[in-house]
């Protein structure tokens, strides 16, 4: 039996150095969370180039060792971030990526599991809910240590758009996108608020009467954001890189913060044995606890539709 390795709390690894992986590497370098960052890609030269490019600017930043490596270099990493996978093409849904990326994960995850890594697997590749479940099953890791970036970015988009609409600092907006990170995601407006004031009430206080039409439009804009960006620039990467940094902050600093990450459901709302996004307490161990957010009847029904969509995809693949 291979020995488990001690964790270096200041070390992270990124597997996949495409747009998302490289943007994440740059963002984490600026964050000062880590003192060591290893980049891995099937194209070793690409990983080397990204490491070189970022390291050349280190005289302007906090000290960090950043380099291209192999799977042997990740055994003591506190967080292993997986962004590897086929890119989402214009007009292609996240779920259509599933078979291509599950095949890629069947190569990557055993490499991690065979080295008995004790770090947290942070899954970012799409479709993130399906791939988080795949990583959980293929790795054999405890479920708290296998988490997906989920709807953290979708939720940030929602907060940003609501803040812009209301003319209010979006950091004071409290709202969640739950369910699938994708076309069936659910915006939870019924319990949304701005610094404790219910969203519908704050709309009236700010002089807006068209609450229903505004929130419906904003939901559609959030849901279609990735498609809109991909149509214009072929890929999304800055927003998700910032979301990854936020998740890493919660882990490294043991914050016990609440983020809508992807994790395994155990009967919440009558949903079990699939991975989807729900607000969860995130700390040094990964997901500590899922916190079921208050849903109205329509939102609850839509969450079940989202879960059903994921189940149908899972039924067509071999995990």
Judge whether 41 is annotated as a binding position.
yes
Judge whether 241 is annotated as a binding position.
no
Judge whether 114 is annotated as a binding position.
no
C-alpha span between 234 and 227 (Å, rounded): 9
Tokens in use for 50? 């990204």
Judge whether 174 is annotated as a binding position.
yes
Judge whether 78 is annotated as a binding position.
no
Judge whether 46 is annotated as a binding position.
yes
Judge whether 215 is annotated as a binding position.
no
Judge whether 115 is annotated as a binding position.
no
List, in order, residues 6 or more apart from 159 with CB less than 8 Å away.
Answer: 170, 171, 173, 174, 175
Judge whether 250 is annotated as a binding position.
no
List, in order, residues 6 or more apart from 259 with CB less than 8 Å away.
Answer: 150, 152, 155, 246, 247, 250, 279, 280, 282
Which residues sit opposite 215 in a β-bridge?
Answer: none
Tokens in use for 41? 């890609």
C-alpha span between 103 and 319 (Å, rounded): 10
Judge whether 94 is annotated as a binding position.
yes
Judge whether 127 is annotated as a binding position.
yes
Cis peptide bond N-terminal to 276, omega within 30: no
Helices 211-223 and 152-166: crossing angle in degrees, nearest 10, is 140
Judge whether 145 is annotated as a binding position.
no
Judge whether 98 is annotated as a binding position.
no
Of 5, 181, 256, 304, catalytic: 181
What is the residue whose two structure tokens read 């697997």?
121
266 is catalytic: no
User: Which residue, 227, 93, 217, 245, is CA-closest to 161?
Assistant: 217
Residue numbering of the annotated binding site for NAD(+): 16-21, 41, 46, 71, 85-86, 101, 124-126, 149
Residue numbering of the annotated binding site for beta-D-fructose 1,6-bisphosphate: 159, 174
Known binding residues: 16-21, 41, 46, 71, 85-86, 88, 94, 101, 124-129, 149, 154-157, 159, 174, 236
Please give the positions annotated as active site.
181
Please report, in range form, the residues annotated as the binding site for substrate: 88, 94, 126-129, 154-157, 236
């Amino acid at each position: 039996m291979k020995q488990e390795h001690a964790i270096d709390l200041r070390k992270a690894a990124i597997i996949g150095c495409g747009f998302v992986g490289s943007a994440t590497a740059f963002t984490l370098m600026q964050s000062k969370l880590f003192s060591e960052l290893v980049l891995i890609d099937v194209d070793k030269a690409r990983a080397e180039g990204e490491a070189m490019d970022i390291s050349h600017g280190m005289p302007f930043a906090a000290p960090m060792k950043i380099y291209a490596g192999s799977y042997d270099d990740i055994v003591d990493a506190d967080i292993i971030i997986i962004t590897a996978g086929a890119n989402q093409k214009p007009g292609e849904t996240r779920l259509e990526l599933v078979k291509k990326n599950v095949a890629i994960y069947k190569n990557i995850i055993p490499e991690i599991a065979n080295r008995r890594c004790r770090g947290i697997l942070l899954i970012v590749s799409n479709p993130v809910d399906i791939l988080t479940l795949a990583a959980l099953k293929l790795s054999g890791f405890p479920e708290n240590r296998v988490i997906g970036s989920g709807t953290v970015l979708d939720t940030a988009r929602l907060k940003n758009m609501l803040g812009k609409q209301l003319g209010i600092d979006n950091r004071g907006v409290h709202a969640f996108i739950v369910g699938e990170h994708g076309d069936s995601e659910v915006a939870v407006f019924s319990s949304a608020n701005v610094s404790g004031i219910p969203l519908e009430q704050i709309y009236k206080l700010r002089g807006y009467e068209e609450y229903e039409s505004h929130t419906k439009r904003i939901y559609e804009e959030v849901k279609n954001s990735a498609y809109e960006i991909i149509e214009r620039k072929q890929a999304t990467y800055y927003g998700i890189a910032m979301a990854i940094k936020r998740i890493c902050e919660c882990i490294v600093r043991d914050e016990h913060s609440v983020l809508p990450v992807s994790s395994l459901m155990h009967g919440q709302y009558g949903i079990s044995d699939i991975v989807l996004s729900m607000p969860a307490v995130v700390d040094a161990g990964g997901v500590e606890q899922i916190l079921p957010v208050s849903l109205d009847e329509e939102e609850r029904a839509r969450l079940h539709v989202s879960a059903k969509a994921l189940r149908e995809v899972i039924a067509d693949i071999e995990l």
